[in-house]
């Protein structure tokens, strides 16, 4: 996944490096940030300098590396508050478990954590640590606390670790970190484009108090709407009933039934570039809705159900259709079923996930998907839905040149 060169042009990136073995990758990251157009200044913690020398970063960035909070020479050149204000974004890569914990507590005992407190722009961290440390409840609790404070987490990838373990905890690759950092700036990837997304379940009334529905949480669709807005799109989220707050910068239309979701979708897609159907639309609805509550005394009740209209297939069948993306939640033969859906519904892309794996999918914060297009498949590793959403938007924009 690559972004066009210049996607970070005119952006000032303060690259924070903390003490983990992944710090050796930060030199490559710095180079790639510069290639993407960013001006980069580097701050290292004391521990980081045990892994890689400041001289490396000084040579690459063309500027002295900032190391100490109480360095009079450095303060005279550019004081720490000034440096925090200078940055359009602070990117900490790698971020160790210890640094993350200090960030949670708002500590200011060293230069980098002080800058994090004094910053005015966004802060993103790329955690890197042993897989057991990453999955430890304390770390996960800290990560959630940071997310609640709008600090962006570029989740670690899974794979071989320097310590010999295999698992989640490796710092995300520099190329990916550059793409994700650039997406933070309400990038111009989808500027001027309209994106319509359906999300959540639908409810199909049986009578005034009962309905048929499903377990969809809406998390994937909401994350996609956030990511589309972040990428600069005019974003419309057509949402069934969920327990999530409407995302900011997004126009959210609340609907209840499949028919309402269809009507709203058709209303909105005529001038859209991209339509993503992330909703778990009810496939059937009761043929008739009782006017009064059905009484228990009636004994056994039979329901006659009729099919709802397939929203994504209807949109894909429009003459002036947007780029149309569907989801496929499957329990077996994932790619075969997804490809069948792609062809049958005439979609441009199907995002397939295995819902038989209880750790991912419905209700979960994580997901692992396979992207199925007419010319092949691409697997993405398990990651948080928020992160996956950003990567999906990036994939769709770059691979299909939507802008």
Give least dist CB 310 to ligand C5P, A: 4
CA dist., res. 293 & res. 203, Å (int) = 16
| Complex with ligand C5P: residue 146 or 328, whichever CB lies closer | 328
| Complex with ligand C5P: residue 265 or 386, whichever CB lies closer | 265
| Complex with ligand C5P: residue 218 or 326, whichever CB lies closer | 326
Give least dist CB 307 to ligand C5P, A: 8
Number of Cβ atoms within 10 Å of the Cβ of 49: 17
Give least dist CB 384 to ligand C5P, A: 20
Closest to 177 in 3D by CA, of 36, 80, 58:
36
Sheet holding 250-254, edge to edge: 250-254, 234-239, 194-199, 274-277, 323-330, 349-354, 369-373, 376-379
| Complex with ligand C5P: residue 147 or 214, whichever CB lies closer | 214
Number of Cβ atoms within 10 Å of the Cβ of 57: 27
In 151-275, which residue ranges form alpha helices assigned H by DSSP? 174-183, 219-230, 258-269
CA dist., res. 234 & res. 114, Å (int) = 36
Concerning whether 163 is annotated as a catalytic residue, the answer is yes
Give least dist CB 278 to ligand C5P, A: 6
Give me the catalytic one of 59, 162, 163, 209. Answer: 163
| Complex with ligand C5P: residue 93 or 347, whichever CB lies closer | 347
By CB under 6 A, name the binding residues for ligand C5P. 198, 258, 277, 279, 281, 283, 308, 310-312, 326-328, 341
Active site residues: 163
């Amino acid at each position: 996944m690559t972004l066009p060169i210049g996607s970070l042009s005119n952006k000032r990136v303060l690259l924070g490096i903390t003490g983990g073995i992944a710090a050796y990758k930060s030199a490559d990251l710095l180079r790639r940030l510069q290639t993407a157009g960013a001006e980069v200044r580097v701050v290292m913690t004391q521990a980081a300098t045990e892994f890689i020398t400041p001289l490396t970063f000084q040579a690459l960035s063309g500027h002295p590396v900032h190391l100490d909070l109480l360095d009079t020479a450095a303060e005279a050149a550019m004081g720490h508050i000034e440096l925090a204000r200078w940055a359009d974004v602070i990117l900490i890569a790698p971020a160790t478990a210890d640094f993350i914990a200090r960030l949670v507590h708002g500590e200011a005992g060293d230069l980098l954590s002080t800058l994090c407190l004094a910053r005015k722009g966004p802060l993103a961290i790329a955690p890197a640590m042993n897989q057991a440390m990453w999955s430890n409840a304390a770390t996960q609790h800290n990560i959630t606390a940071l997310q609640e404070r709008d600090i962006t987490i570029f989740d670690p990838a899974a794979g071989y670790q320097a310590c010999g373990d295999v698992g989640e905890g490796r710092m995300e690759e520099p190329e990916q970190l550059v793409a994700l950092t650039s997406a933070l700036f309400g990038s111009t990837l989808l500027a001027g484009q309209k994106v319509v997304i359906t999300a959540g379940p639908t409810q199909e009334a049986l009578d005034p108090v009962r309905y048929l529905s499903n377990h969809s949480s809406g998390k994937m669709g909401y994350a996609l709407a956030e990511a589309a807005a972040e990428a600069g799109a005019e974003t419309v989220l057509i949402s069934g009933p969920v327990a999530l707050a409407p995302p900011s910068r997004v126009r959210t239309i609340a609907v209840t039934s499949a028919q309402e979701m269809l009507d709203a979708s058709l209303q909105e897609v005529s001038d859209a570039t991209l339509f993503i159907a992330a909703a778990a639309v009810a496939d059937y609805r009761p043929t008739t809705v009782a006017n009064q509550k059905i009484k228990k005394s009636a004994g056994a009740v039979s329901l006659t159900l009729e099919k709802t209209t397939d929203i994504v297939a209807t949109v894909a069948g429009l003459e002036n259709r947007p780029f149309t993306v569907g989801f496929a939640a499957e329990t077996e033969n994932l790619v075969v079923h997804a490809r069948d859906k792609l062809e049958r519904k005439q979609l441009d892309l199907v995002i397939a996930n295995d819902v038989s794996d209880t750790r991912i999918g419905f209700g979960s914060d994580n997901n692992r998907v396979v992207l199925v297009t007419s010319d092949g498949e691409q697997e993405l590793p398990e990651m948080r839905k928020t992160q996956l959403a950003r990567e999906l938007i990036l994939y769709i924009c770059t691979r299909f040149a939507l802008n």
